[in-house]
Chains A and B, each alone.
Chain A
Protein backbone atom coordinates (compact mmCIF):
# COMPACT_ATOMS: atom_id res chain seq x y z
CA UNK A 1 0.00 0.00 0.00
CA UNK A 2 1.27 3.44 -0.92
CA UNK A 3 1.40 5.64 2.15
CA UNK A 4 3.13 8.51 3.86
CA UNK A 5 3.30 9.18 7.59
CA UNK A 6 4.25 12.43 9.26
CA UNK A 7 5.94 12.92 12.60
CA UNK A 8 7.64 15.61 14.62
CA UNK A 9 4.71 17.84 15.49
CA UNK A 10 4.95 19.40 18.93
CA UNK A 11 4.22 22.41 21.10
CA UNK A 12 6.78 25.10 20.38
CA UNK A 13 7.19 28.65 21.60
CA UNK A 14 6.62 31.59 19.33
CA UNK A 15 9.90 32.31 17.57
CA UNK A 16 11.08 28.75 18.04
CA UNK A 17 12.01 26.01 15.58
CA UNK A 18 10.72 22.57 14.73
CA UNK A 19 11.54 19.87 12.19
CA UNK A 20 8.82 17.71 10.68
CA UNK A 21 9.49 14.39 9.00
CA UNK A 22 7.49 12.33 6.53
CA UNK A 23 8.28 8.69 5.83
CA UNK A 24 7.03 7.14 2.61
CA UNK A 25 6.45 3.47 1.88
CA UNK A 26 4.93 1.28 -0.78
CA UNK A 27 6.19 3.25 -3.79
CA UNK A 28 9.39 4.40 -5.45
CA UNK A 29 9.86 7.62 -3.49
CA UNK A 30 12.75 8.85 -5.62
CA UNK A 31 10.62 9.50 -8.72
CA UNK A 32 7.94 11.60 -7.06
CA UNK A 33 7.76 15.22 -6.05
CA UNK A 34 6.53 15.86 -2.53
CA UNK A 35 4.67 18.61 -0.73
CA UNK A 36 3.75 19.91 2.68
CA UNK A 37 0.19 21.17 3.09
CA UNK A 38 -1.23 22.52 6.33
CA UNK A 39 -4.69 22.98 7.77
CA UNK A 40 -5.70 25.17 10.64
CA UNK A 41 -8.53 23.34 12.42
CA UNK A 42 -11.83 24.47 10.97
CA UNK A 43 -10.14 26.25 8.08
CA UNK A 44 -9.09 25.37 4.56
CA UNK A 45 -6.02 23.60 3.28
CA UNK A 46 -2.94 25.69 2.51
CA UNK A 47 -0.09 24.49 0.31
CA UNK A 48 3.22 25.23 2.06
CA UNK A 49 6.15 23.80 0.12
CA UNK A 50 7.10 21.66 -2.90
CA UNK A 51 10.24 19.69 -3.67
CA UNK A 52 10.93 17.90 -6.94
CA UNK A 53 12.02 14.27 -7.12
CA UNK A 54 15.71 15.14 -7.26
CA UNK A 55 15.38 18.19 -4.97
CA UNK A 56 16.57 20.39 -7.84
CA UNK A 57 13.39 22.49 -7.74
CA UNK A 58 11.85 23.87 -4.57
CA UNK A 59 8.96 26.29 -4.09
CA UNK A 60 7.44 27.87 -1.01
CA UNK A 61 4.24 29.70 -0.21
CA UNK A 62 4.88 33.40 0.43
CA UNK A 63 3.66 32.99 4.01
CA UNK A 64 6.61 30.73 4.91
CA UNK A 65 9.34 31.79 2.48
CA UNK A 66 12.59 32.54 4.29
CA UNK A 67 11.48 30.72 7.45
CA UNK A 68 10.74 27.16 6.30
CA UNK A 69 13.05 24.78 4.44
CA UNK A 70 11.91 21.63 2.66
CA UNK A 71 14.39 18.84 1.98
CA UNK A 72 14.38 15.14 1.20
CA UNK A 73 16.48 12.02 1.54
CA UNK A 74 15.72 9.57 -1.25
CA UNK A 75 17.86 6.88 0.39
CA UNK A 76 15.55 7.02 3.41
CA UNK A 77 12.32 7.72 1.43
CA UNK A 78 11.72 10.74 3.59
CA UNK A 79 10.89 14.40 3.21
CA UNK A 80 11.42 17.03 5.88
CA UNK A 81 10.20 20.49 6.79
CA UNK A 82 12.47 22.64 8.91
CA UNK A 83 10.48 25.48 10.44
CA UNK A 84 12.08 28.52 12.08
CA UNK A 85 10.81 31.77 13.56
CA UNK A 86 7.45 30.17 14.17
CA UNK A 87 4.44 32.43 14.44
CA UNK A 88 1.00 31.95 15.94
CA UNK A 89 -0.43 31.66 12.45
CA UNK A 90 1.82 28.67 11.71
CA UNK A 91 -0.15 26.55 14.17
CA UNK A 92 -1.85 23.84 12.12
CA UNK A 93 -1.90 20.18 11.23
CA UNK A 94 0.84 19.61 8.67
CA UNK A 95 0.22 17.00 5.98
CA UNK A 96 2.77 15.41 3.71
CA UNK A 97 1.46 14.74 0.20
CA UNK A 98 2.84 13.01 -2.88
CA UNK A 99 2.62 14.98 -6.09
CA UNK A 100 1.30 13.91 -9.47
CA UNK A 101 0.64 15.73 -12.71
CA UNK A 102 -0.70 15.38 -16.22
CA UNK A 103 2.41 17.09 -17.49
CA UNK A 104 2.55 20.63 -16.20
CA UNK A 105 2.31 22.66 -13.02
CA UNK A 106 -1.19 23.71 -14.00
CA UNK A 107 -2.31 20.10 -13.80
CA UNK A 108 -0.46 19.21 -10.62
CA UNK A 109 -2.32 17.51 -7.79
CA UNK A 110 -1.62 15.42 -4.68
CA UNK A 111 -2.60 11.77 -4.72
CA UNK A 112 -1.25 10.23 -1.51
CA UNK A 113 -1.65 12.02 1.78
CA UNK A 114 -0.78 11.40 5.40
CA UNK A 115 -3.01 12.04 8.40
CA UNK A 116 -0.82 14.92 9.46
CA UNK A 117 1.13 15.99 12.51
CA UNK A 118 0.00 18.90 14.72
CA UNK A 119 2.10 21.96 15.38
CA UNK A 120 1.03 24.14 18.29
CA UNK A 121 2.67 27.54 18.77
CA UNK A 122 2.52 28.87 22.29
CA UNK A 123 3.17 32.41 23.46
Chain B
Protein backbone atom coordinates (compact mmCIF):
# COMPACT_ATOMS: atom_id res chain seq x y z
CA UNK B 1 0.00 0.00 0.00
CA UNK B 2 1.50 3.29 -1.12
CA UNK B 3 1.89 6.27 1.20
CA UNK B 4 0.54 8.58 -1.49
CA UNK B 5 -2.86 7.69 -2.96
CA UNK B 6 -3.69 8.03 -6.63
CA UNK B 7 -6.71 6.89 -8.65
CA UNK B 8 -5.92 3.63 -10.45
CA UNK B 9 -7.02 4.98 -13.80
CA UNK B 10 -8.23 8.02 -15.69
CA UNK B 11 -9.21 8.44 -19.32
CA UNK B 12 -10.02 11.14 -21.81
CA UNK B 13 -10.55 11.75 -25.48
CA UNK B 14 -7.92 13.43 -27.65
CA UNK B 15 -7.87 17.16 -27.04
CA UNK B 16 -9.54 16.93 -23.66
CA UNK B 17 -8.18 17.84 -20.24
CA UNK B 18 -7.59 15.28 -17.52
CA UNK B 19 -6.36 15.60 -13.97
CA UNK B 20 -4.67 13.06 -11.74
CA UNK B 21 -4.86 13.50 -7.99
CA UNK B 22 -2.26 12.55 -5.39
CA UNK B 23 -3.44 12.44 -1.80
CA UNK B 24 -0.89 12.49 0.98
CA UNK B 25 -0.87 12.94 4.72
CA UNK B 26 0.17 15.48 7.34
CA UNK B 27 3.63 13.88 7.42
CA UNK B 28 4.13 14.11 3.65
CA UNK B 29 2.50 16.64 1.32
CA UNK B 30 0.66 18.27 4.22
CA UNK B 31 3.96 19.00 5.95
CA UNK B 32 4.94 21.28 3.08
CA UNK B 33 7.14 18.88 1.18
CA UNK B 34 7.36 19.28 -2.57
CA UNK B 35 5.61 17.00 -5.03
CA UNK B 36 7.12 15.63 -8.23
CA UNK B 37 5.54 13.74 -11.11
CA UNK B 38 6.84 10.99 -13.40
CA UNK B 39 5.55 9.14 -16.43
CA UNK B 40 6.31 5.46 -16.89
CA UNK B 41 5.66 3.59 -20.14
CA UNK B 42 6.06 -0.20 -20.39
CA UNK B 43 9.67 -1.21 -20.88
CA UNK B 44 10.90 2.36 -20.61
CA UNK B 45 12.65 4.32 -17.92
CA UNK B 46 10.49 6.59 -15.77
CA UNK B 47 10.57 10.16 -17.03
CA UNK B 48 10.49 13.26 -14.84
CA UNK B 49 7.51 15.44 -15.82
CA UNK B 50 7.19 17.97 -13.03
CA UNK B 51 9.63 18.79 -10.23
CA UNK B 52 9.29 20.87 -7.11
CA UNK B 53 5.51 20.93 -7.46
CA UNK B 54 5.15 23.16 -10.53
CA UNK B 55 8.32 23.13 -12.63
CA UNK B 56 8.71 21.40 -16.00
CA UNK B 57 12.09 20.06 -17.16
CA UNK B 58 13.16 21.23 -20.59
CA UNK B 59 11.41 19.26 -23.27
CA UNK B 60 8.19 18.67 -21.33
CA UNK B 61 5.38 20.54 -23.09
CA UNK B 62 3.38 23.18 -21.26
CA UNK B 63 0.29 20.98 -21.67
CA UNK B 64 1.49 19.46 -18.40
CA UNK B 65 0.97 21.46 -15.22
CA UNK B 66 0.67 20.68 -11.55
CA UNK B 67 -0.43 22.19 -8.28
CA UNK B 68 -0.55 21.43 -4.57
CA UNK B 69 -2.95 22.34 -1.79
CA UNK B 70 -3.07 21.07 1.75
CA UNK B 71 -2.34 17.35 1.82
CA UNK B 72 -3.00 16.85 -1.90
CA UNK B 73 -1.49 17.57 -5.28
CA UNK B 74 -2.70 17.19 -8.82
CA UNK B 75 -1.32 16.86 -12.32
CA UNK B 76 -3.27 18.32 -15.23
CA UNK B 77 -2.80 17.42 -18.87
CA UNK B 78 -4.54 19.55 -21.47
CA UNK B 79 -4.89 18.89 -25.19
CA UNK B 80 -4.66 15.16 -24.58
CA UNK B 81 -2.65 13.23 -27.19
CA UNK B 82 -2.28 9.52 -27.88
CA UNK B 83 1.37 9.66 -26.81
CA UNK B 84 0.29 10.72 -23.31
CA UNK B 85 -0.89 7.20 -22.56
CA UNK B 86 1.05 5.57 -19.78
CA UNK B 87 1.37 5.34 -16.01
CA UNK B 88 1.80 8.50 -13.96
CA UNK B 89 3.33 8.58 -10.48
CA UNK B 90 3.56 11.31 -7.88
CA UNK B 91 6.45 11.45 -5.40
CA UNK B 92 7.11 13.40 -2.24
CA UNK B 93 8.94 13.14 1.06
CA UNK B 94 7.54 11.71 4.24
CA UNK B 95 9.11 12.40 7.62
CA UNK B 96 8.51 8.74 8.57
CA UNK B 97 9.48 6.96 5.37
CA UNK B 98 11.87 9.23 3.44
CA UNK B 99 10.90 9.42 -0.24
CA UNK B 100 7.51 8.03 -1.17
CA UNK B 101 5.59 7.42 -4.36
CA UNK B 102 1.96 7.08 -5.26
CA UNK B 103 0.57 3.80 -6.51
CA UNK B 104 0.37 5.14 -10.04
CA UNK B 105 -2.47 6.14 -12.36
CA UNK B 106 -2.96 4.57 -15.76
CA UNK B 107 -3.97 7.16 -18.34
CA UNK B 108 -5.93 5.91 -21.32
CA UNK B 109 -6.54 8.11 -24.34
CA UNK B 110 -9.86 7.03 -25.81
A59 contacts partner chain B, Cβ-Cβ < 8 Å: yes
Is B44 a contact partner of A115 (Cβ separation < 8 A)? yes
Beta-carbon contacts of B83-110 to A below 8 Å, as 1s and 0s? 0000001010100011111111000000
CB-based nearest B residue for A106: B33
Per the CB 8 Å criterion, the residue count for chain B at the interface is 28
Q: Are A106 and B45 in contact (CB under 8 A)?
A: no
Residues of the B chain whose Cβ atoms lie less than 8 Å from the Cβ of A100: 51
Taking a contact as CB atoms closer than 8 A, the residue among B2, B32, B48 that contacts A106 in the complex is: B32
A47 near B44 with CB under 8 A, answer no
CB distance from B28 to the nearest CB of A (A): 9
Contacting pair B36 A109 (CB below 8 A): yes
- What does the 1/0 interface line of A39-59 toward B look like (CB < 8 Å)? 100011111001000000001
Shortest CB distance A109–B (Å): 4
Contact of A46 among B33, B44, B57, B101 (CB under 8 A): B101
A109→B45 contact, CB < 8 A: no
Query: Is there an interface contact between A113 and B46, defined as CB atoms closer than 8 Å?
Result: yes
**Pair A43/B97 contact, Cβ less than 8 Å:** no
Q: How far is the CB of B29 from chain A (nearest CB, A)?
A: 10
Considering the chains assembled together, what is the distance between the CA atoms of A39 and B33 in angstroms? 23
Instruction: Please provide the chain A residues from 64 to 123 with a CB less than 8 Å away from any CB of chain B in the complex.
Output: 95, 97, 100, 102, 105-111, 113-116
**Among candidates A37, A114, A115, residue contacting B43 with C-beta atoms closer than 8 Å:** A115
Q: Which residues of B, 9-56, contact A by the 8 Å Cβ criterion?
A: 31-34, 36, 38, 40, 43-48, 51-52
- A–B pairs, 28, beta carbons within 8 Å: A35-B99, A39-B40, A43-B104, A44-B2, A44-B89, A44-B102, A45-B40, A45-B91, A47-B99, A47-B100, A47-B101, A59-B98, A61-B97, A95-B45, A100-B51, A102-B34, A102-B52, A105-B93, A105-B98, A106-B34, A108-B93, A109-B36, A109-B51, A110-B46, A110-B91, A111-B48, A111-B51, A113-B47
